[in-house]
Structure 1
Amino acid sequence: MSPGILKVIGTSVTLTEQLRRQATRDLPFRIDFEVLDGLSCQRRGIMSPDTYDVYDQWFHSLDLLWTAGSIQPIETARIKRWNQISLSHDHAVSQAEVRSYGTRPADMLFVQEDFMLGPAPTPMISMLPTTYNADSFAYLPDIAGNLGFSMPESWAWLLDERWHGRCTLSQDPAGSAVELALAARSAGLVDVNDPSNMSIEEIDALFDVLLARQRTGHFSRLWVSSEDSIRFLSGPGCVIGSLWSPAYYAVRGMGRDLVYAAPREGYRGWQSGLSLSVAATAEKQEMAYAYFNWWLEGVAG
């Protein structure tokens, strides 16, 4: 493989400078990380596949990426540890085993014979699964106690007017819409059957509630990136808000007495992975597969 640069776009959750430096030391080519916020990364991934080689983000973006023809299939035969990837590949976590909503990554993992995405195993995949987690919201326990909140914690807290003017949310609707649907349903404000697949009527009812809260100033700030959420929840203006777990630990590391909630309704889960740009040349494909295998075998994996 001739020396070159592998261009990777993604978010700060996985594109850390420490990993980039280690990958550059371990692999025979340079690696360039471009860290974007979630919405900007998704927009770039869909509209400008010629500006990156590897797309590192969430599985739910496959609906748009694959439909737009912005990424190409990944050959599982070229992934050395493919048989050890079990969560998505073997449906280790199924909706029959736990109460859950939404689309499982496995439902859009494999490239089917008709070139659509589906769960039936084939030698081609749309995204190489790498990272998964479950997120919720964080809050200051002393203020929660003073306001009269008590266990169990609930997503409904996000819409409780006692937090007026001090609640922050993600600007990305892929996550915040589900969180707010859970909050509105748990608070008895909106009757929602499936928070991950709402009807038009449910969406309208939810937005009536949210717009009313917005007009009164219930939400103090909307964060675009993990760095934004850290800044907001480490400052004086926000005392409750949705938060990714790495950001929670960052705020805790600053000495902020923040609690990460375990909502009685459950967490909001997510999974991310690596996809290959449709514009990647044969040389860049070789580099990308080396990077994919490094992710599973090296420091990251």
Structure 2
Amino acid sequence: MSNTPSNLPRRKAIKSLAAASAIGAGLATGISTFAIGKEKPTLRVLGTHVTLQEELRKRAMDDLGINLKFEPKGSAAVLQKAAMDPSSFDLYEQWSNSINVLWRAGAIQAIDKNKLLYWDEINNLTKTGKISANAKIGAGDAPYKLLHVQSNNALSSQHTQHISYLPYVHNVDSFGYNTEFIEQGTPYDSESWAWLLDPSFNGKVAIVNAPTIGLFDLALSAQARGLVQFDDIGNMSTVELDKLFKVLIEYKRTGHFSGFWTSVPESVRFMKSKRVNIQSMFSPAVSSLNGQNVPVTFAAPKEGYRGWHGVMCLSSQTKGRMQDVAYEYMNWWLSGWPGAFIAKQGYYISNPQRSRSFLSDAEYDYWYAGKPAAEALTGTDGLVSVAKGHSRRGGSYEKRFENVAVWNTVMPTYEYSLQKWYEFLSA
């Protein structure tokens, strides 16, 4: 539509109607909105395709009466842009392994817990590191270690009134495999990270192209196959990294890896096109493929999962009114509906009890309780992704997070691991 005079009355009417709708939404949800007389603020959110989805953007704009600009990129590109240019975003959404990089770069600022409406509801996974008494904390950067900002500006598990990120979506990751080509294994028994480096799958394997994520998928695989052993897989030494990448480069030169994906949609294309039969995967990709009748199973490896925790971070450059808007958006994410929405793609929220009423009994029992689906369930795309009678791979929320082998991590040897990762990609 052009900005000609003939269009201006209609544009003005639409703008007035939208403002009135925003007021109504605010009254209905209890979430504050902005005055009609003011121009709607535009909140810029930098992140990945995992959470920067159009349906979430539309719902948040309706509920909050704001404009939202989502900028989704691959995880490495997101981290690089955020660290180098904090003025380019107001909020950052990615994973806890990015916190150390962003904090050291001065790209993000501390978040005041007093401004978080649902802080007390957030469960112990990020407050203490354990979802239950039986849980393994997992190697590497367990998110609770990076949560609280200390008086000396260090990050640690010691509770303070300021935090480095808002805990929200999280999950455990592993790999997906197409059961048309690979016999289905048994969770926590025959399924193993070793499968990613199984020579019989040569040429049909893909890995996520993220040196703080894909690195651990491959390290877990190499260790499971007995090719390399680590004293602490969450804190690999340069000597251990040298041994690991020597093995990986040999695999790459044989054509073992078909590709390295940088986004969830790309991983879906890899598997749907049958370019690969097994690869690093995130839950939304598995859900999407199942909804398209591609028989992909999300493994529950006997060695344990690679855990990740979503972080929502406030840019160091976000001030004044935009900071207020950013806090409203952070609170919106924990207000119930968003957590229920992302549950349908296999993700958890940090205060699941508030999302419970937005899920049917069948949905909650399947996604959180690990029970068989009482009916066919749809994903976030509206397609059936869970057949009636199917049980979630790996069991309940608690069971899955009791079995974290390692978290996405930025190790002390991060710079060296980056160098080795790019040598591997170019080999």
Instruction: Quickly name the TM-score band, shorter chain normalised.
Output: over 0.9
Partner of residue 109 from structure 1, selected from 138, 142, 147:
147
Partner of residue 224 from structure 2, selected from 175, 182, 186:
186
Alpha-carbon contact 1:168-1:238 (below 8 Å) kept: yes
Aligned to 1:72: 109
Aligned to 1:282: 320
User: Judging changes above 3 Å, is the alpha-carbon distance between structure 1 residues 134 and 23 closer, same or farther for their aligned structure 2 residues?
Assistant: same
- State the number of aligned residues: 297
Mapped pair 1:296 → 2:334? yes
User: Judging changes above 3 Å, is the alpha-carbon distance between structure 1 residues 140 and 265 closer, same or farther for their aligned structure 2 residues?
Assistant: same
How far is 1:99 from its partner? 6.4
How far is 1:95 from its partner? 9.7
Aligned to 2:425: none
Counterpart of 1:143 in 2: which secondary structure?
Answer: coil
Aligned to 1:232: 270
Q: Deviations over 1:125-170 (max 9, x none)?
A: 1100001100111112242249xxxx60110110111001010110
Alpha-carbon contact 2:96-2:309 (below 8 Å) kept: yes
Partner of residue 85 from structure 2, selected from 17, 29, 48:
48
* Structure 2 residue runs without a partner (length 5+): 1-33, 340-427
Alpha-carbon contact 2:194-2:224 (below 8 Å) kept: yes
Counterpart of 2:337 in 1: which secondary structure?
Answer: coil
Counterpart of 1:33 in 2: which secondary structure?
Answer: strand
Alpha-carbon contact 1:19-1:299 (below 8 Å) kept: no
How far is 1:91 from its partner? 3.4
Counterpart of 2:126 in 1: which secondary structure?
Answer: coil
Aligned to 2:233: 195
Aligned to 1:57: 94
How far is 1:93 from its partner? 3.4
Q: Deviations over 1:86-145 (max 9, x none)?
A: 221243338984262112111111110101111111111110000110011111224224
How far is 1:299 from its partner? 1.8
Alpha-carbon contact 1:53-1:276 (below 8 Å) kept: yes
Partner of residue 174 from structure 2, selected from 124, 130, 136:
136
Q: Deviations over 1:41-60 (max 9, x none)?
A: 11111111101100011111
Coordinate RMSD, CA, aligned:
1.6
Q: Distance in 1 between matches of 2:65 and 2:91?
A: 17
TM-score when scaled to structure 1?
0.95
* Structure 1 residue runs without a partner (length 5+): none
Partner of residue 122 from structure 1, selected from 137, 160, 176:
160
Counterpart of 2:218 in 1: which secondary structure?
Answer: helix
Q: Which range moves more in the overlay, 121-130 or 99-108?
A: 99-108
Aligned to 2:126: 88
Partner of residue 247 from structure 1, selected from 263, 285, 288:
285
Counterpart of 1:183 in 2: which secondary structure?
Answer: helix
Q: Distance in 2 between matches of 1:164 and 1:244?
A: 22
Q: Which has the larger radius of gyration?
A: 2
| Overall identity of the aligned pairs, in % | 38
Partner of residue 191 from structure 2, selected from 140, 153, 164:
153
